[in-house]
Amino acid sequence: MSKKELKVSKIKDGTVIDHIPAGRAMEVLRILKITGKEGFMVLIAMNVYSKKLKGKKDIIKIEGKFLSDKETAAISLVAPTATINIIKNGEVKEKKGVKTPDVVEGILKCPNPACISRVEHERVSSKFVKVSESPLAYKCAYCGTRIEENDIPKYLNM
Amino acid sequence: MRDFVDISEIDRSTIEHLFEVTDTIINKNLHKRKGSWLDGKNVILAFFEPSTRTRLSFEIAARKLGADTLTVVGEEAVSLSKGESFGDTVKMFDLLGDLLVLRHKYDGAAKYAAEIADIPVINAGDGKNQHPTQTIIDLYTIYRRLGHIDGLSYAVVGDLRYARTAHSFLLALTHFKPKSVYLVSPPQLKPSDSLIAELRERKLHFYLTEKLEEVIDMVDVIYVTRIQKERFPDPEEYEKVKGSYRLTYDMIKDRKGVIVLHPLPRVDELDTRIDKTKAAAYFDQVKNAVPVRMSIIAWVMGVEL
C-alpha cells in the first residue's frame, strides 16, 4: 500500500490486518475480543479503496497486540483475503496472507442443536472440515451440518 | 479392523463386497446356525434409544458369528444417569469389548465414539443423522429383488428432514448411478439444506416434489419413511404434518415391478393392504437384516466368512 493511500496513522509495535473484505472489520474485532476498553490503541478504517481487492476493504491496526494461531485461523474464516503485518519498532517485520484451514477445531459452533458437539457436559470440541474453497463452506465432522460462507460469522465461537 | 459409522465413507466396492458375503451367508445358511468366527469376542450392544429390529438382528448376527453379546439398553442402565459423560462410557466399552454397536440420540455420537474407541464402532443410528447398516439392508433388498441398484428410478418419501434411514439411503445412492431420484415430502419435512448441498456435491441428480402421485408411475422403488415424531423440537409442528402423506394400495395395485421399502416401524403412512402384494419388500428387509449385519460385523472385524 502506498503512503498516499494510507489514511490512518502508523503503529510502533503491533499488528496491522489489511485487505479485510469491506464491512467485516467489526467481525474481526469481535474475534479478537476488542471492545475499545482494553486500553491499547486501535485504528480502524472502513471502506477504503483497495487495488488488490478491486474495490473496498477494511483495515485494522492494533498497537501492542500480536495474534495467536487460533485468532488468525478465525480471522481467515470471516476475512479470507486478509493480510497480517507484524510491526516492530515501526517496521513491518513479517507480512503474511491468511489461509483458511482444512480442519477447524474449537472455533465454529455447530448450527445443529442435536449435534454431539453441542452437548455441554460432554465437552466435545467442535470440528469442521472444509468442503468448498470459494464460496467458503465447512461441514461438521460429527453430524455433517454445513456452514456456508455468509453464515460463518454467526457461528464463530471464540 | 475398521468402523462403520458413515455411509458416505463406505465405497461402492465395499457395498458390493457386503452383498456378496450376504449372498454366501444366505446360500450356505450361515445365519441359521452358530459359527465360531468370533469365538471369545465380546460385542457390546449399547442402545441408548429404543430399538426392536436393529438390536435384535445385531444380537442374533453377533451370536451366529460366535461372539458373546453384552447388551445395554437405555441411559439408566449405565452410569450416564449418574452424570458420567458419554465419552467416559465409550472408553469403558472400549476396554471391555471387542466391538461396539451403538445407537444414540445425538447426531454424530457414533463418529465421536469412533474417535475415542480403539475397537471398531458400528453406527446403529445416531439421532436424525444416519443409520448406515439399515441402508445396506435396504440396498441388498433392492439388489435381491431387482438385480441391481444402478439404472433404477427411486422415490424416497416422507420425513426427509428427520429420518436417518432416508439420509443414509440417499447418501448411499451417490455411490451408484440411479436413473432418477425423487424426494417426496411435505414442505415442512423437506431435506435439510446441508443434505441437499451434500447430494449436489456428490453429483446425485434429484427432483424435489410434494406429491407422490406425480412420480409414482415413473419409479421402480418407493422408499417410505415414518414421520419421526420423537425428533420434532416442537410437538405442535408434528401435529401440523401428522398424516400428511400415505402410500395406499390403490396407488400401486396396477404398478407391475415396483417395490415398496420401509425401514419400519410404520404408523399410518403405509397401507397394510400392500403387505400381501408382490410390491411389499419391507418384510424382506427384516428377513435380510441378520445376514446383512453378519456381513458388516465380519467386515469391521476383518473376518472372512
Cβ of B107 and A115 within 8 Å?
yes
Cβ of B85 and A141 within 8 Å?
no
- According to CATH, what is the number of the domain A103-155? 2.30.30.20
Cβ of B85 and A112 within 8 Å?
no
Q: Which of B143, B123, B141, B142 is nearest to B133 (CA)?
A: B123
What is the crossing angle of helices B132-146 and B12-27, to 10°? 70
Using DSSP's 3-state secondary structure scheme, residue A3 falls into coil
pLDDT tens digits along B275-305? 999 999 999 999 999 999 999 999 999 999 9
Cβ of B192 and A145 within 8 Å?
yes
What is the average pLDDT across A126-153? Answer: 95
Looking at residue B81, what is its pLDDT? 64
**From the DSSP assignment, how many helices (H) and strands (E) are in chain B?**
10, 9
Backbone phi, psi, residue A126, to 5°: -65, 150
Across the interface, of A113, A143, A146, the residue whose CB is closest to B108 is: A143
pLDDT over 90 for what percent of chain B? 84
Q: Which of B111, B174, B195, B200 to mutate to test the interface with A (most CBs of A within 10 A)?
A: B111
Q: What is the rounded CA–CA span in Å between residue B43 and residue B102?
A: 11
Looking at residue B78, what is its pLDDT? 66
Give contacts of A115 with chain B, Cβ < 8 Å.
106-108
Give contacts of A121 with chain B, Cβ < 8 Å.
83, 85
Alpha carbon of B2 to those of A30, A127, B6, B213, B304: distances in Å?
A: 42, 21, 12, 42, 14
Asked if the C-beta of A140 comes within 8 angstroms of chain B's C-beta atoms, the answer is yes
pLDDT tens digits along B83-136? 788 999 999 999 999 999 999 999 999 999 999 999 999 999 999 999 999 999
Cβ of B83 and A139 within 8 Å?
no
C-alpha cell at A81: 483475503
CA atoms within 13 A on the CB side of B281: 23
Q: How far is B112 from chain A (nearest CA, A)?
A: 7
pLDDT tens digits along B65-77? 999 999 998 876 6
Q: Which alpha helices (DSSP H) does chain B contain, by range? A: 12-27, 53-64, 86-96, 109-116, 132-146, 164-173, 193-201, 235-241, 249-252, 282-301
Sheet holding A127-132, edge to edge: A103-105, A127-132, A137-140, A146-148
Q: What is the rounded CA–CA span in Å between residue B228 and residue B247?
A: 17
Q: What is the rounded CA–CA span in Å between residue B239 and residue B261?
A: 25
Give contacts of A114 with chain B, Cβ < 8 Å.
105-107, 127-128, 231
Looking at residue A130, what is its pLDDT? 97
Across the interface, of B83, B127, B197, the residue whose CB is closest to A114 is: B127
Sheet holding A55-63, edge to edge: A42-50, A55-63, A14-21, A83-88, A91-97
What is the average pLDDT across A133-149? Answer: 95
pLDDT tens digits along B124-183? 999 999 999 999 999 999 999 999 999 999 999 999 999 999 999 999 999 999 999 999
pLDDT tens digits along B204-255? 999 999 999 999 999 999 999 988 888 888 888 878 888 788 999 999 999 9
- Is residue A89 within 8 A of residue A12, CB to CB? The reply is yes
Across the interface, of A132, A137, A142, the residue whose CB is closest to B108 is: A142
Give contacts of B197 with chain A, Cβ < 8 Å.
137, 146
Fold entry, domain A14-97: Alpha-Beta Plaits (3.30.70)
Q: How confident is the model at residue A3 (pLDDT cuts 50, 70, 90)?
A: very low
Give contacts of B87 with chain A, Cβ < 8 Å.
122-124
Cβ of A124 and B111 within 8 Å?
no
Mean pLDDT of the residues in chain B:
94
What is the average pLDDT across B170-197? Answer: 96
Domains along the sequence of chain B with CATH: 7-130+289-301 (3.40.50.1370), 132-285 (3.40.50.1370)
What is the average pLDDT across A62-89? Answer: 95
pLDDT tens digits along A106-138? 999 999 999 999 998 888 999 999 999 989 999
pLDDT tens digits along B15-38? 999 999 999 999 999 999 999 999
For β-strands B153-157 and B221-224, DSSP reports them as: parallel
Q: Domain limits of chain A? A: 14-97, 103-155
Q: What is the rounded CA–CA span in Å between residue B234 and residue A113?
A: 13
Q: Name the residue type at position A81.
A: T
> What global pTM score does this model have?
0.92
Q: How confident is the model at residue A36 (pLDDT cuts 50, 70, 90)?
A: confident
Across the interface, of A116, A131, A137, the residue whose CB is closest to B106 is: A116
Looking at residue B229, what is its pLDDT? 81
- Is residue B133 within 8 A of residue B3, CB to CB? The reply is no
Alpha-carbon radius of gyration of chain A = 17
